[in-house]
Structure 1
Amino acid sequence: MLKPKELGDELPGFDAVVEDTEQNDSQTNKKKKKGSGGFQSMGLSFPVLKGVTKRGYKQPTPIQRKTIPLALSGKDVVAMARTGSGKTASFVLPILEKLLSPNSKPQPGKNLRALILSPTRELALQTLRFVRELGKFTGLSSAAILGGESIEQQFSVMSGKAPDIVVATPGRFLHICIEMSLKLDNIKVVVFDEADRLFELGFGEQLQEIVARLPSSRQTLLFSATLPKMLVEFARAGLSDPMLIRLDVDWKLPSTLWLGWISVRAELKTAALLLLLDKVLTPETPQAVVFAATRHHVEYLHLILQQAGITSTYAYSGLDPSARKIALGRFTNKKVSVLIVTDVAARGLDLPALDTVINYNFPAKPKLFVHRVGRSARAGRAGRAFSLIAAEDIAHLLDLQLFLGAELLTPASVETNGPTCPSGVWGAMPTVQLELRHQDVVTWEKNYSEIEEAVRTCSRGWQQYVKWREPASAEANKRAKTTDAPTMTHPFLVDDNMDKAVDMVQQIKNYTPKGTILELSAKNDSPSYLAMKAKKQAHGKTVAKIRDNKKLKAAGILVEDMGQKSNKNAGKKKKEVVRDENYIPHQASDQHTEMGMAVNFNAGAESAALELGADSAAAARSRAATLRWDRKRKKMVHVDPDGGRKMIRTESGGRVPATYRSGRYNEWKKRNAAVDDDDDDDQARDVNRKKPVSEFRPHWVKHNERVAKKAAEAKSKEFRDKQQIVKERLRKDKVKQKLKYKVNKKKKRK
């Protein structure tokens, strides 16, 4: 066999092996020191690299390392990775690089060259901030087109010289396109951010209309945390020969995320939450996000935390967009300790300083759990996720364990207590402290009418929520009936002083008296006493043996042998099934993973939000009213409220005609005397025209800017006329006289 040196350059793509010399060693050492795994090796231009370094990024994440080179080469990409893995930068950097290239220069009246579609307003604003930070030195303009904002301000943004990059929600962007007759011929890149969520939230119609208006030569990028394996469903988004990048198969949750399962009765959940927050909110981890099932639970918990002296804010779907924005702003700026939300904030929001997530109500689907706890432990940071498990949540917990491929640990199998205990332990709350906290909660519910009414509303809302919640699998429900909830305290909540009390409680639970209740108060000659004495003589040994076996099983010494339960089958040995190497099972090895991660795009577009559900009874009723039973297809389908007419639903709930315009843009042009953008002859006027505001700001911000501008202009004047000089001297004289008067007054008093 030949040695490597004698092989020569026979392998394609590999350099020939050269004999080691001191010169070669020095060169290789220099190359190693430089390092080629960073953003510099991706061929990014200087303005983009400058923005990356200014943002503080040093090394690309795995999804960025795989996605950015493919996107820069112009291929359509479908990328799947867990939340917090850096998906946003994976499409923002290729967009900036592509728009800076000389091949994609803006044409007159067609400056819009990149479109990013996001499912929610919060995610769109976050993406816009990200685009501006990374593209700070590129000179590219960007704007957000969001539902719930003033449409006239958006007319001013999109008219004239439109921004290079638009981050939009599908409903409002399509409304703008119809009203303004926007031409999207010059768009080079389209991004579907959180693609599965776009279809789940019922944006199928809007996406189809937007895709139909886009040029066929565009590049399409789909980014999401979970998507099915098959690419057939992506045809609706208009992909051509896409490259699939999937980094969510090996792990679903970050390795730095610590999980804790806490067993508690349903009526004690509020007290358990207060105990948990007292333990979790420390100077090192000052903030936490609490997920509740409905908007009524959110408002109830907010009132309870107010009474407990814990600062909190909340957000849910029915809340005004500006109020949601203010609430999230208060939390990100660390003005409050707790953010209480429904699943409207389960995905897409980047809270980099967040350390703790608490599931007050357990999520119905494993995929939703992944995105809830994905708010923490982002970008390599450590994080914790606690879940309160009631009796009705055990089946969903077992489904989740199958999906994660994890094992539930018992407190008895754990040696360390406190924050250093291992992840994945299922334990209970400290009973004494829980009862004391529950007394406080009951007192608040009785003394405060607001909280009392919130409790009644919560109970009605929970009844409705259980009806539309996704049920657990049949197998999990069977296992849940035989699975006992733990009684030992979770090691994270155990203090050193509590060990003795816990041991005593455990001894009391394991204590078995010698006499039964029939023997305690009866006389020696009573019939009950004599009957029990006869029974003990007949079956005493069997009872003692079973009790000893139970104690050994509880201690983990004896393992129950299911095959030796019946004497009939004890002698028979089952034949082992021998399968050849070509045997193919009818179920895939990762079937539970795929069931949890699959998002059927057709079903998602037809039935709005299958997994997120509604967070109020009114939203659930309105959704049910739009469905009817189709006898042919044997399923519930949507009722067409427009009688076959083509209509598009906006985010505000209104329906916009797809074939004609309502004329609001023409009225706005008349009022503002806007000049049409299509006139190529008036380019000089376009240059001198004031650029539209690319973000939506309140009136007081604009007023402060005008005042500051006037003050700056006044200071910048080097030469003044005679009147201004005289006024300034008189003003200074008045100030001096006032000061003299005050000084003299003080002297007279003395």
Structure 2
Amino acid sequence: MALKKKRPNRGRKPRAHSQPHHRDVDVESDGGEFQLAPLTEEDDSVGKHNNRCLQSFPSGDCPSDVEPDTREMVRQQNRKKKSGGFQSMGLSFPVFKGIMKKGYKVPTPIQRKTIPVILDGKDVVAMARTGSGKTAAFLIPLFERLKVHNAQSGARALILTPTRELALQTMKFTKELGKFSGFKTALILGGDKMEDQFEALHENPDIIIGTPGRLMHIVVEMNLKLQNVEYVVFDEADRLFEMGFAEHLQEIIRRLPDSRQTLLFSATLPKQLVEFARAGLTEPVLIRLDVDTKLNDQLQMAFFHVRSDDKAAVLLHLMRNIIKPQEQTVIFVATKHHVEYLKELLTRQGIHCSYSYSALDQTARKINIGKFVHRKCMVMIVTDIAARGIDIPMLDNVINYNFPSKAKLFLHRVGRVARAGRSGTAYSLVALDEIPYVYDLHLFLGRPLKFASQAENSEETSGIYGKVPQNTIDDEESLLIADHKASLDLQNLKRVSENAYRQYLKSRPNPSPESIKRVREMDFSTLGIHPLFGVNIKDAELQRLKIIDSIKNYKAKSTIFEVNSTNKTSASEIMRMTRNKQILVINKFQQLKEEKKTAPSKNMPTLMEADLPDEDNIETVFSEVMGRKRKSKQPTEHFPKNKKECEQDEEFYIPHQPKDFNSERG
């Protein structure tokens, strides 16, 4: 019978043979089949050389028998490159293929800094602004460290997040990025059925993603063993501590092996996080990027000066006339009652929207967020539970219906837009009682607060604080009044939201005294119309404002005591004497007022050191600090430079406030 020649073994795995060594040769036997002939000593030496050149048998390092392990080859090819994409990191083929499938071309700065350090096995505290790609920065080395699925050892990686939405998002991202790695993942969330979670854990998943509260409950109920966990991630770590999970995290850390690798990813670095790093991490490396800018350059901001009662009307105008119909928008409010009120209000005005808050059923939250993510509705109303970590890829706008009381919270709210190189806009509706928080925000950012001037006609709209035209508010207000009259539900929801806001004010932290002082000194009559509302509206509104200001500033030449009286009456003589006495005080007040106008504006905030602990404390906790450092505080004349100059005994003196009191308040 005719025999076909055997094709050469090009890049395929060599066969495993027992002694003595054999080689494949075309030897025809009587039965018409191939036989193996024994190797000679010369062939044996050649075979060993060839085996070294061929790929090894599939193992944990290379799970595929067709596609070779690219790590060593890529490292050799990229030795001469100073920087590059993911291929220069020497990742294995399944991980690299998942990255390419996801569509990532070039790593972000935080990924370029953290991935090599994590692959070296070091504990890391990574600090970068929201939307910089922190999730991929810890998932890529996680897949690389775990290699392949292991059904016997149980969970080997643990990822903890502060909210259920962020955990669901991380789960989805893990499946997409690790599509070719073959890892099993279990999701542990509060609000889901515990039976399903028990079943998922019994299948020995490689990765556990969950929230601390439910995970701690299951660890106790199941007596879950975590001895094999070698990779632990605390995502949005600062938020975990703010939400009161510190005790849960400490207990989970106690149950983990000492040989684990621990990673903390956060947008800010509060003092409490540094103390946790001191206790739970081994010689951690601190990587901090973008600590000077804080906000993305692609983010446009607009601040509108409105009355509290006019916020709903301004919101409707924004949704109808300024925000385009194809743009997605998230509206942040103070309480869940505001969510329900605005949802009913917008629905009656023909704007379809979804909503989410903490007291909502878990299934309803998933459905509503799913509608918004899949663009079935373009508006979503949420409380601050959605301000951290939720990644909506095509989000265009954020509206702060109630201005946040903390600067860090503002950063996390507006961090939902302008992600991954895209632009976005953040609109803020600021009532009179919320203006000090705007000053605090600009102090925190180190930026001057720009006011819209009545005289200027600037085309720049980003970061400007201005008024809303009254005729615009009146037009929308007439529609709202008609809706409220026609609906008892809307009236009840509005009343409940107003009561809820009064309760919210009791728990809202106070702004800084300096910001309150600046607001009192500010003259809002000179505040102009925001440039976002156009030139035509602006000109008409300016004329209207001039008339109103002239009415406000009108002063009668005579007092009520001098009406219909002659110069010889006692009332006119007394008033004349009083004016002569007070003329000096009046002139002095007018002079001070003019000096304030001509002097450099006190409304221009200066950079304030906040949110970060002392540099000396950081250097004692972290073995290495990568990224840009903040400038250290300059000693002022009010504080002594040396401890010897202090009158109190430093050893026994107990201050009435902690040293980091102001930094923790932001």
Post-superposition offset of 1:478: 2.2
- Segments of 4+ moved more than 6 angstroms: 30-35, 512-515, 519-524, 526-554
Offset from partner CA, 1:313-364 (integer Å, 9 cap, x none): 1111100011111111111111222111111111110011111111111111
Post-superposition offset of 1:526: 7.9
> 1:249 and 1:212 mapped to 2: Cα distance?
32
Q: Which residue of 2 aligns with 1:53?
A: 100
Structure-2 change in CA distance of 1:359 and 1:323 (3 Å): same
Structure-2 change in CA distance of 1:143 and 1:551 (3 Å): same
Select which of 515, 520, 529 maps to 1:481.
Answer: 520
Post-superposition offset of 1:488: 4.5
> 2:394 and 2:504 mapped to 1: Cα distance?
31
Structure-2 change in CA distance of 1:438 and 1:194 (3 Å): same
> Secondary structure, in 3 states, of the residue corresponding to 2:318?
helix
For the pair 1:94 / 2:134, whether they are aligned, the reply is no
For the pair 1:153 / 2:196, whether they are aligned, the reply is yes
Post-superposition offset of 1:502: 2.7
> 1:31 and 1:87 mapped to 2: Cα distance?
25
Structure-2 change in CA distance of 1:323 and 1:517 (3 Å): farther
Q: Which residue of 2 aligns with 1:74?
A: 121
Structure-2 change in CA distance of 1:184 and 1:551 (3 Å): closer
Q: Which residue of 2 aligns with 1:195?
A: 237
Post-superposition offset of 1:423: 1.6
Instruction: Verify the 8 A CA contact 1:262 1:426 in the aligned structure 2.
Output: yes
Select which of 218, 242, 245 maps to 2:287.
Answer: 245
Question: Structure 2: which 5+ residue stretches go unaligned?
Answer: 1-76, 615-654, 658-666
Select which of 363, 369, 376 maps to 1:335.
Answer: 376
Post-superposition offset of 1:238: 1.9
Offset from partner CA, 1:49-80 (integer Å, 9 cap, x none): 11111111111111111111000000000011
Select which of 427, 431, 434 maps to 2:470.
Answer: 431
Select which of 165, 172, 175 maps to 1:122.
Answer: 165
Instruction: Verify the 8 A CA contact 1:377 1:383 in the aligned structure 2.
Output: yes
Structure-2 change in CA distance of 1:524 and 1:458 (3 Å): same
Instruction: Verify the 8 A CA contact 1:78 1:222 in the aligned structure 2.
Output: yes
Post-superposition offset of 1:274: 1.2
Question: Structure 1: which 5+ residue stretches go unaligned?
Answer: 1-29, 563-587, 597-632, 636-750
Post-superposition offset of 1:197: 1.4
Q: Which residue of 1 aligns with 2:487?
A: 448
Q: Which residue of 2 aligns with 1:617?
A: none
Offset from partner CA, 1:510-541 (integer Å, 9 cap, x none): 64899826499966968899779979998999
Instruction: Verify the 8 A CA contact 1:263 1:429 in the aligned structure 2.
Output: yes
Q: Which residue of 2 aligns with 1:306?
A: 347
Q: Which residue of 2 aligns with 1:739?
A: none
Q: Which residue of 2 aligns with 1:349?
A: 390
Select which of 532, 551, 556 maps to 1:516.
Answer: 556
**For 1:153-192, what aligned pairs fall within 5 Å after superposition?**
153-159=196-202, 161-192=203-234
Q: Which amino acid aligns with 1:90?
A: A
Instruction: Verify the 8 A CA contact 1:426 1:486 in the aligned structure 2.
Output: no
For the pair 1:591 / 2:600, whether they are aligned, the reply is no
By relative contact order (CA 8 Å, sep 6+), the higher-ranking structure is 1
Instruction: Verify the 8 A CA contact 1:314 1:327 in the aligned structure 2.
Output: yes
Structure 2 length as normaliser, TM-score?
0.73
> 1:162 and 1:96 mapped to 2: Cα distance?
16
Post-superposition offset of 1:96: 0.3
> Secondary structure, in 3 states, of the residue corresponding to 1:98?
helix
Q: Which residue of 2 aligns with 1:5?
A: none
Structure-2 change in CA distance of 1:551 and 1:499 (3 Å): farther
> 1:536 and 1:56 mapped to 2: Cα distance?
80
Structure-2 change in CA distance of 1:230 and 1:158 (3 Å): closer
> 2:601 and 2:299 mapped to 1: Cα distance?
36
Q: Which residue of 1 aligns with 2:180?
A: 137
Instruction: Verify the 8 A CA contact 2:332 2:402 in the aligned structure 1.
Output: yes
Q: Which residue of 2 aligns with 1:263?
A: 305
> Secondary structure, in 3 states, of the residue corresponding to 1:63?
helix
Post-superposition offset of 1:560: 8.2
Offset from partner CA, 1:645-671 (integer Å, 9 cap, x none): xxxxxxxxxxxxxxxxxxxxxxxxxxx
Q: Which amino acid aligns with 2:121?
A: G
> Secondary structure, in 3 states, of the residue corresponding to 1:355?
strand
Q: Which residue of 2 aligns with 1:408?
A: 449
Post-superposition offset of 1:484: 3.2
Q: Which residue of 2 aligns with 1:113?
A: 156
> Secondary structure, in 3 states, of the residue corresponding to 1:426?
strand
Post-superposition offset of 1:173: 2.0
Q: Which amino acid aligns with 2:504?
A: Y
Instruction: Verify the 8 A CA contact 1:211 1:237 in the aligned structure 2.
Output: no
> Secondary structure, in 3 states, of the residue corresponding to 2:391?
coil
> 1:170 and 1:540 mapped to 2: Cα distance?
67
Instruction: Verify the 8 A CA contact 1:518 1:532 in the aligned structure 2.
Output: no
Instruction: Verify the 8 A CA contact 1:519 1:532 in the aligned structure 2.
Output: no
More helix by share: 1
Q: Which residue of 2 aligns with 1:688?
A: none
Structure-2 change in CA distance of 1:482 and 1:69 (3 Å): same
Select which of 80, 93, 110 maps to 1:63.
Answer: 110
> 1:78 and 1:189 mapped to 2: Cα distance?
14
Post-superposition offset of 1:446: 3.0
Select which of 460, 472, 492 maps to 2:499.
Answer: 460
For the pair 1:38 / 2:116, whether they are aligned, the reply is no
> 1:152 and 1:548 mapped to 2: Cα distance?
75
For the pair 1:205 / 2:252, whether they are aligned, the reply is no
> Secondary structure, in 3 states, of the residue corresponding to 2:105?
coil
Q: Which residue of 2 aligns with 1:358?
A: 399
Q: Which amino acid aligns with 2:250?
A: Q
> 1:62 and 1:537 mapped to 2: Cα distance?
68
Structure-2 change in CA distance of 1:243 and 1:435 (3 Å): same
Instruction: Verify the 8 A CA contact 1:261 1:389 in the aligned structure 2.
Output: yes
Instruction: Verify the 8 A CA contact 1:115 1:166 in the aligned structure 2.
Output: yes
Q: Which amino acid aligns with 1:343?
A: D
Greater CA deviation, 50-59 or 88-97? 50-59
Instruction: Verify the 8 A CA contact 1:331 1:338 in the aligned structure 2.
Output: yes
> Secondary structure, in 3 states, of the residue corresponding to 1:167?
strand
Q: Which residue of 2 aligns with 1:736?
A: none
Q: How many residues align?
A: 536
> 1:318 and 1:524 mapped to 2: Cα distance?
69
> 1:393 and 1:454 mapped to 2: Cα distance?
23
Q: Which residue of 2 aligns with 1:83?
A: 130
Q: Which residue of 1 aligns with 2:621?
A: none
Structure-2 change in CA distance of 1:340 and 1:532 (3 Å): farther
Offset from partner CA, 1:224-253 (integer Å, 9 cap, x none): 111126865124762111001111421111
Post-superposition offset of 1:438: 1.9
Q: Which residue of 1 aligns with 2:72?
A: none
Instruction: Verify the 8 A CA contact 1:313 1:336 in the aligned structure 2.
Output: yes
Post-superposition offset of 1:442: 2.8
> Secondary structure, in 3 states, of the residue corresponding to 1:82?
coil
> 1:219 and 1:31 mapped to 2: Cα distance?
27
> 1:240 and 1:313 mapped to 2: Cα distance?
44
Post-superposition offset of 1:175: 2.5
Q: Which amino acid aligns with 1:300?
A: Y
Structure-2 change in CA distance of 1:96 and 1:495 (3 Å): same
